[in-house]
Structure 1
Amino acid sequence: MTVLPLPLVPLPADLALADGAPYALSGAAVTGDPDAAAHLRTLVRTRTGLDLGTGDGIALAVDGSGPAESYRLEASGTGIRITGADAAGLFYGVQTLVQLVARDGGAWVVPAVRIVDSPRFAYRGVMLDVARHFHDLDTVRAYIDRAASLKLNVLHLHLSDDQGWRLELRSRPELTAEASATAVGGAPGGYYTQDDYRAVIAYAASRHMTVVPEFDMPGHTHAVGLAYPELAEAPAVEVITEGSTPVAGEPYTGIGVGFSSLRIGDEATDAFVRDVFAELAELTPGPWLHFGGDESLGTTPEDFAQFVASASAAITALGKTPVAWHEAGAAAGLAPGTVGQFWGFVSPTDAATRHARAFAERGGRLILSPADAVYLDMKPTADSPLGLTWANGPTSLVRAYDWEPTRVVDGVDEATILGVEAPLWTETVATLEDIDALAFPRIAAAAEIAWSPASGAERSWASFRSRVGGLGPLWTTLGIRFPALEEVPWTT
């Protein structure tokens, strides 16, 4: 099998090595789209120490032709041209160009290539859980940069859970006043002001990423009970299988799940749900609002179905598309068009399959996040000091790569799949260094599955492990502290 000799991840849809000399970056200049040019200058300076001038050499342009987010890149000894169908496509072409930059003796060069590239799926996401451990603005911005460099275009923020509520809401000020100060293991908590949240959205937009905020309900709501005790049921401690036991009215710093529930059927709870999602909708320009709906083990099936119906209807009425974890598919009243996020295993249970299919049957689409393939919080190796193992044990890089979205949920075809998302839950993740240690290099596998064609000569584990290994020097210069997994032949 041939292995592509270029460290490109995700694999482009169409790539051909060209004859001729490479393009030398020393003394090179860039012209064209100012935003893309500024971004390229920053990345090239970081990677090589070279400053690109202004003028001919590297030409960047948007021409409006081709599929959304697509680009064309041509490099030869005399120059480089990147043309995007839109601003996002041009941005992704810049990311590809930076991956192509290589040492040739004492020079920095770009090999002669021709690339025509576009994404397989429209939704290519990562999730960051800021509830189990709070992560500040600088960390979130750094994760956005890391994800965007791999052509991922959605940041799903898990903004509430049993351990804390992380977004200021003026309609419900007690949520941050009373329920934001703690995190797992007694770590300090925190929250985003509305200005902070707007700053995250603006920074993500500058990297062509859409923010999908999540308030998880009706379970995972112990923190809500700290702020508004009249809205919360007593903890269902009998469902706890690990971690400490929750106590009503006291902050929860353990990692147990499933024990909490809102008090469903009360007008006060309905008003709360309407308030928080109405304010979230005003703050969020993107089309999706996520209401959770997972692991509601302390909620009766009847109450759960009632809640899912009312919450999804409330979000739809706000002009947004509801998103929910796949368990919400069990509710007969789920609002039509709701997007389901599947987090079962690559070989799912019958119930998970049935619930996931229900979204499609109601006119919605699916986001694939199989836990034993793309949950970035799983240990990459058995001896990893960070991460968990409940999703079929440690998740190696080859397992993160070796799955196909259309073969997970029976009866769901490619047209029904909105995309792929790699969640990072943060029970063991307190710092950016921790994020890097678990996300990389497996985030690159998720990016390739979401972007690249399903098949092809180089769409293989052998090619991927070689290509991702070639990104080691780039990731190092960008400050990404990735683990050098033995599965990969790393370039040094």
Structure 2
Amino acid sequence: MALPSVVPAPASIEADGSAPFALTSGTPIVAAAEITDATEALQSLIETRTGLRLDTREPADSAADARAIVLEIAGDGAAESYRLDVTEASVIVSGTDAAGLFYGVQTLGQLVEPAPGGWQIPAVRIVDAPRFAYRGVMLDVARHFHDVATVKAYIDRTSALKFNHLHLHLTDDQGWRLQLDSRPLLTEKASATPVGGDPGGFSTQDDYREVIDYAGARHMTVVPEIDLPGHTHAVSLAYPELSEEPVLSDHIREIVRDYGGELPVNRVPYDGMAVGFSSLKIRDEATNEFLADVLGEVARLTPGPYLHIGGDETLGTSAAEDYDYFIGRVSRLAASLGKTPVAWHEAGTATDLEPTTVGQFWGYVEPIDGMDAKARGFTAVGSDQGKLIDTLAFPRAAAAAEAAWSPAAGASELRTWESFAARVGALAPLWTSQGIGFTPLDGIPWAVEVAAGADRGDA
């Protein structure tokens, strides 16, 4: 018997082929008043998918809760874990904590399917918990600026796949995207340019707080990146005295030749694709004051534990000892601000690196081209980098989510390409109803929903 399709694959899923739970407009959601995130998420999921707006009520006796969807926090088990039991009589989602309940609701939303004249949820029992505690996606708002509404939509899409960290790449050669009171010229003079002439822009501090709060309600931690000491051409527009002249290597000229645009010029806005040419003045005291202002303010604005300091592709930094000095100093500065420093894998070569620093491979989820040698001494994580968003991130994000959440490949019969392709293909109707403009890649059997399956507003 075929199992219901769930992505990422759960730790355990069983179905016995018994009658499904009939979902109608009269189905209540039963949850304690303090369970708001999961309740609101489930209401939104079901309404978007089916057109049904389910009422909520607080728990009563068990008889009164029959024919209901029950949400509860059980308080035992691994962090972020949940159980989901669906029978013909009831649906019970039980989370160890609020995050686990939220993720159980996301799984339940994937199970909703059309039935003759209405909607149903197949009878199933799922016991689930994450493989990795840190499950992150990246959104680059520096090369292409995205407003608050777009970032919030990305949070909705990725938290539904059980990602729990959002890495915001806030600064790069093309633009500076976060307004800072201590250094107002960064957004006044360095936020207008993106790659390829798209609209620029920046987030105010209120915008940034709104994103953090929205992410937090979906159990996602924001990880801000201020990319240093390279990827800092935008700084030259606001504080030219802090920037070295661009280093125009053959590689930089090749990128410009292949992708178009102009060679970078200090103090001139840049919208090209090349990277690695820029650098701050490493040992200048004015640079140290700039770093203290910028990182100190970002740390104060960010409640999460991480502060990403970049450290990648620093071809414009004059000497290895300068890079080593800079990364050591800045990683210690981040730690002194009460944050866990995060840096790209190249920072692993620094001999004076703050010991608590977390390393991140920027190329792939596994190191290539000697990345692992550079990342010595790190606790390391991979990255799923999302840019232009739906068409490039989906279904790619689903594959990354499966690697981050599900049992290891070989530990579950679901962790095969054939299983994943079938399960992610079955999400097409849900993603379409949510307005996700995914790329329908060849080799995946994308489901097409029969219109007669759903009377979208009726019991």
TM-score (norm 2): 0.90
Percent of aligned pairs with the same amino acid? 59
Asked if the contact 1:292–1:325 (Cα under 8 Å) also holds between the matched residues in 2, the reply is yes
How far the C-alpha of 1:312 sits from its partner, in A, is: 0.0
Residues 435-474 of structure 1 aligned to structure 2 (within 5 Å):
435-454=389-408, 455-474=411-430
* 4+ long deviations beyond 3 Å: 344-351
Match of 1:325 in 2: 344
The 2-side partners of 1:324 and 1:7 are apart by 36
Distance, in Å, in 2 between the alignment partners of 1:278 and 1:18 is 56
Contact 1:305–1:332 under 8 Å retained in 2: yes
Residue 172 of structure 1: SS of its match in structure 2?
coil
Whether 1:282 aligns to 2:300 is yes
What SS class does the counterpart of residue 328 from structure 1 fall into? helix
2:37 touches 2:218 (CA, 8 Å); kept in 1? no
- The answer to whether the Cα contact below 8 Å between 2:365 and 2:384 also exists between their aligned partners in 1 is no
1:5–1:467 CA contact under 8 A, matched in 2: no
* Unmatched runs of 5 consecutive residues or more in structure 2: 58-64, 257-261, 449-459
Please identify, of 179-188 and 469-478, the stretch whose mean Cα deviation from structure 2 is larger. 179-188
* Maintained 8 Å contact 2:69/2:92: yes
Aligned-partner Cα distance in 2 for 1:38–1:133: 31
Partner of 2:259: none
The CA deviation at 1:5 is 3.5
Q: Relative to structure 1, is the Cα distance of residues 350 and 51 closer, same or farther in structure 2, using a 3 angstrom cutoff?
A: closer
Residue in structure 1 matching 2:255, options 242, 254, 258 = 242
Instruction: Tell me the TM-score normalised to structure 1 length.
Output: 0.84
Inter-CA distance 139–324: structure 2 relative to 1 (3 Å threshold):
same
Q: 1:423 aligns with which of 372, 376, 385?
A: 385
Moved more, 232-241 or 192-201: 232-241
| Unmatched tracts of structure 1, length 5 or more | 360-364, 369-420, 430-434
Name 2:157's counterpart in structure 1.
146
Q: Is the 8 A contact 2:3 2:14 kept in 1?
A: no
Which has more radius of gyration? 2
Structure 2 counterpart of 1:29: 28
Q: CA deviation at 1:19?
A: 4.6
The answer (yes or no) to whether the contact 1:330–1:358 under 8 Å persists in 2 is no
Q: 1:460 to 1:54 in 2, by over 3 A?
A: same
> CA offset at residue 350 of structure 1?
6.1
Corresponding residue number in structure 2 for 1:54: 56
Q: State the partner residue of 2:455.
A: none
Distance 2:336 2:426 in 1: 48
What per-residue deviation string (whole Å, max 9, x for no partner) do you get for residues 350-371 of structure 1?
6311112332xxxxx1112xxx
Corresponding residue to 1:125 among 121, 136, 139: 136
User: What SS does structure 2 have at the residue aligned with 1:90?
Assistant: helix
User: Which residue is 1:387 aligned to?
Assistant: none
Corresponding residue of 1:87: 98
- CA shift, 1:345, in A, is 4.7
Could you tell me how far apart the structure 2 residues matched to 1:349 and 1:441 are?
A: 23
Paired with 1:276 and 1:196, the residues of 2 have a C-alpha distance of 17
2:361 aligned residue: 342
Query: Please, what is the CA RMSD of the aligned residues?
Result: 1.3
Name the counterpart of 1:63.
Answer: 74
Which residue number in structure 1 is paired with residue 371 of structure 2? 352
SS at match of 2:48: helix
Match of 1:14 among 12, 15, 20: 12
CA–CA distance in 2 between the matches of 1:273 and 1:487? Answer: 48
Cα–Cα, structure 1 residues 352 and 34, in superposed 2: closer, same or farther, change >3 Å?
Answer: closer
- Tell me, yes or no, if structure 1 residue 227 matches structure 2 residue 238: yes
SS in 1 for 2:435: coil
Q: Which one of 367, 392, 407 corresponds to residue 381 of structure 2? A: 367
Distance 1:201 1:262, change over 3 A: same
What's the CA shift for 1:105?
Answer: 1.9
